[in-house]
Structure 1
Amino acid sequence: MQNPAGIHPALWRGTQLAQAGRPTLSTGFPPLDAELPGHGWPMGALIELMPRQTGIGELFLLQPALAGLEPGRSVILLCPPYTPQFHCWVNWRLENRRLLWLAPKTPSDTLWAAETILRHNACGALLCWAAAPRAAALRRLHLAAQQSDTLFVLMRPPAALQQASAAVLRMLLQPLPQGLEVHIHKRRGPLASRPIPLSLYGPRLPAPPLPSDHVPLDQPLPAFLSARRHFA
């Protein structure tokens, strides 16, 4: 049988990872790259991340890819659940990538803004938080993403896994003590056989002692006091 990829780039064998038909951007985590078609995040496509709980490290997971964008290209946060902290942005050494924060008033406004941004290829990365877009809206977002070279990530709750989606990549994120456990629920290729543990943070070091003018309370007793107590 002829190689499916030789017939059309969008075809692949079900037992193999698909060849990336579009550019990809390394995730910065080799174990995760090895499980993704093209060995990275697909550009110009809908990606869905579903953290078990908001703030468990989903942005930290994307930090290496954001650092890999072309300097000067904007990163847009669309309807994030919390106020972005610019100090964190600087600590991540992303100051050369302009950060824009948009807070639409309604879910429909959020989806409209996402589609408009993608159709105009207005940024290097678009991170959007949307709870329950319909399947038709997801198809529109994916089609709009294909007209761009944007890293487009849609953050959704885990319950969204019960719904069909046009996304080419869907991941459930579970917290670990030092990082995340990534469950790939959809990719262009065979089903992922096991979750992928990723270390996002180094082990916490004990805090250094604070300087103090007071004498520590655990000083040894003077010799004569120790002797008197011993012979009492």
Structure 2
Amino acid sequence: MLDYMIKLPNVLAWGNVLSATCSAIEHFCSHAPRISWRLQTEKWLSLLVSGGIEDLKNSETSLINLFCTMLSHAEPEQRSVALQQLGRIIHLASTAEVGSGSTMTSHLVTHTWNRIVALALYDSSMLLRNHAMALLTEYAPFVDKNHLRSFLASSDSILKGVGQLSCVIEEGYLTRMSLLLLSKACLYSSSEDIALIPECVWRKLENMQTSLSVELYVS
């Protein structure tokens, strides 16, 4: 039934139908008896977001609830699908030059920001942590200023690995993405908000620059 409804022309203009559809997908991803059935969420979400989400304002709550459920899901496959589809939404919004403000994309980004941060910091899968960190860098132009301000003030937690040398490729990637996220957050923040960055973060960056300079000199 979901396959049929989602593929109908102009079904996304039916606000009530879309809300019910999102609720059905949310229930399905948690309660379907087989993982192969639960993974149908990837197909359904792909169809839902294929044309962008800016026309879905009447159903924003149900769409946000669906993504929040998937991002907090016990199965990494569901968390991965949510990250991938959120990345598609951001890409479509960026391509369409949808700016920050009261857009559907901005609402979705603002309401899922904290969950993405939690994945980037604590997920058991290093691959999903990397994906979450990469998504946060794309979130910066769309998230509200309060979330960016909070991130800058507590950036020592998400950047705790910066400045530590590691031979593990995944950890090195996470460090680079952390630095990119910090730079993106600064780009879209005021000078007053940038001043909230803890002093320890600046020290880590200085130590990293010194270490890189020594390595280059030695080589």
- TM-score normalised per structure 1: 0.25
- TM-score normalised per structure 2: 0.26
Higher relative contact order (CA 8 A, sep 6+): 1
Richer in helix (by share)? 2
Q: Name the larger-Rg structure.
A: 1
